[in-house]
Amino acid sequence: MHALKLFGHYDSGHVYKIMLFLELANIPYDYEQVDIWIDKADRQTEFLKFSRNGEVPCLLIDGLPYIQSNLILYKLASLYKIYGGESAQRLIQALEWQFWEANRLGMCLPQLRYAKLIAPDEFNADSLAFLRNRFEVDIAVLARHLSDDRKFILDDKASIADFSICGYLYWADEAGVRLPRQINNWLERISRLPGWRSPYEMMNKASQDTH
Amino acid sequence: MHALKLFGHYDSGHVYKIMLFLELANIPYDYEQVDIWIDKADRQTEFLKFSRNGEVPCLLIDGLPYIQSNLILYKLASLYKIYGGESAQRLIQALEWQFWEANRLGMCLPQLRYAKLIAPDEFNADSLAFLRNRFEVDIAVLARHLSDDRKFILDDKASIADFSICGYLYWADEAGVRLPRQINNWLERISRLPGWRSPYEMMNKASQDTH
């Protein structure tokens, strides 16, 4: 049994990835919201001590801070030996997809949503077109991978690869992108896992609860 | 002793990251060049069997393929218990920086170099400005991190975090960016490690050798 405290915000799909793991695995944790729409320097002092760049998610495990959503997922899978952490071989397969996410889908989809929903003035048509083009390339790679009979990214069991990659995809509408059929079917399968809730539902609830 | 075969190309800083590990550790490996400037489908059949998206680097370890440069570095560090692989704690610290690289510096700097050196027609002024702005934010984060007395990213010993992050930085000129003093000093320290060679020097040589 480990003491977990998650710092997050309901507008972060990266935070959602971590919550999916914890809620689906039914692991208790404390939650504290950090206002990501104020200057980094103005966020909680305790939080800034732990999160080097003032970013969420930050997870304390027995008092030690972990940052970077994919690193946190990897650490949780290793620690609890589930969702990819069952064996070294499965963990490395999951890690490969997490690096793919960090470098590809995770660097266009969050930005497209941010541009559409939150700060349209920060993006002009050409930089949006650049990001949208990247997204189309990346989502096609993923759709092709999901075109065989597998249920989830690695095999027929959900893993941190799924949690990592799906993080922002439930917000496709908010990002102004359309998803291929294979992607929607896979998101639907994740959403039928016991304990699943949509991003806002899960994260708004966490803000109100004491876990 | 493991049988290693690296598929690479001298224009890839991601390939350079892997070579740095292998050459600095003095680990023997076979090398095969893959032409990354022809269509993916036209690359070597054997290579395409191993590299799902037709991308370099791809490393075969005892016949098993590994892709994604950061995953390969992680696997090598775990396997040889060096450059971050000495302990679980050090490995996770390195992994955190690798995820940062994948999502930040690794998604602007290679693109800026590609735009300047290889395909200027694919980028317009605004998407270049977007990438350059990202680069400035990211390089400032790294420069701040390197502003204390540490010699390398984690501590006073080089690790896969250094190899991952420095991959494209030796090509700053080719990407049309300038580096802060802290970054240049750190790159200089890496370049004094026994076995270090510059990207083109190391990769061109590999293309000609049989290792």
> How confident is the model at residue A211, as a pLDDT?
46
> Tokens standing for B118?
């290889």
Check CB contact under 8 Å for B99 and A123.
Answer: no
Chain A residues in contact with B73 by the CB 8 A cut-off are none
Contact status, residue A182 vs residue A146, Cβ threshold 8 Å: yes
Predicted pLDDT of residue B57:
98
Identify the residue whose tokens are 């680069």: B135
Q: Which residue has the tokens 């679980």?
A: B88
- Spatial separation of the C-alpha atoms in residues A30 and B81, rounded to whole Å: 35
For chain A, the residues whose C-beta falls within 8 A of a C-beta of chain B are 52-53, 66-68, 70-71, 74-75, 92, 95-96, 98-100, 102-103, 106-107, 123-127, 129-130, 141, 145
pTM for this predicted structure: 0.95
Under 8 Å between Cβ of A97 and A154:
yes
- Token couple for A38: 């104020």
Ramachandran angles phi, psi of A102, nearest 5°: -60, -40
Average pLDDT in the A95-123 region?
A: 94
Res B126: pLDDT: 87
Q: Does residue A44 surpass a pLDDT of 50?
A: yes
**A104: Cβ contacts below 8 Å, ≥ 6 apart:** A134, A138, A141
Q: Under DSSP, is residue A93 helix (H, G, I), strand (E, B) or coil? A: helix
A48-93: per-residue pLDDT in tens?
Answer: 999 988 999 999 999 999 999 999 999 999 999 999 999 999 999 9
pLDDT score of A15 = 98
pLDDT at residue number A77: 98
Interface-testing mutation among A96, A139, A142, with chain B (most B C-beta atoms within 10 A): A96
Tokens describing residue B97 = 């920086």
Q: Say if residues A56 and A8 touch (Cβ distance below 8 Å).
A: yes
pLDDT tens sequence across B47-106: 999 998 899 999 999 999 999 999 999 999 999 999 999 999 999 999 999 999 999 999
Which whole number is the average pLDDT over A9-36?
A: 96
- Alpha carbons A5 and A71: distance in angstroms, whole number: 16
Identify the structural domains of chain A with CATH numbers, from first to last. 4-82+196-208 (3.40.30.10), 88-191 (1.20.1050.10)
Instruction: Measure in Å the smallest separation between the Cα of A123 and chain B Cα atoms.
Output: 8
B98 contacts A103? CB cut-off 8 A = no
State yes or no: pLDDT of A209 exceeds 70: no
The residue length of chain B stands at 211
Question: Could you give the percent of chain A with pLDDT greater than 90?
Answer: 88
SS3 of B86, please? Answer: coil
Buried b (16+ CB within 10 A) or exposed e, A40-71: eeebeeebbebbbebbbbbbbbeeebbbbbbb
A35: closest CA of chain B, how far (Å): 20
Tell me how close the Cα of B30 comes to any Cα of chain A, in angstroms: 22
Counting Cα atoms < 13 Å in the Cβ hemisphere of B114 gives 15
B70 contacts A92? CB cut-off 8 A: no
B103, A107 Cβ separation under 8 angstroms: yes
Peptide bond into B57 cis (omega under 30): yes
pLDDT surpassing 90 at residue A122: no
What value of ipTM does the predicted structure carry?
0.93
Encoded amino acid at A117, one letter: L
| Residues paired with A61 in a beta bridge | A4, A64
Q: Do B68 and A96 touch (CB under 8 A)?
A: yes
Residue A2 has pLDDT above 50, yes or no: yes
Q: What is the pLDDT of residue B52?
A: 86
A127 vs B contacts (CB less than 8 Å)? 126-127, 129-130
CB B170 within 8 A of CB B15: no
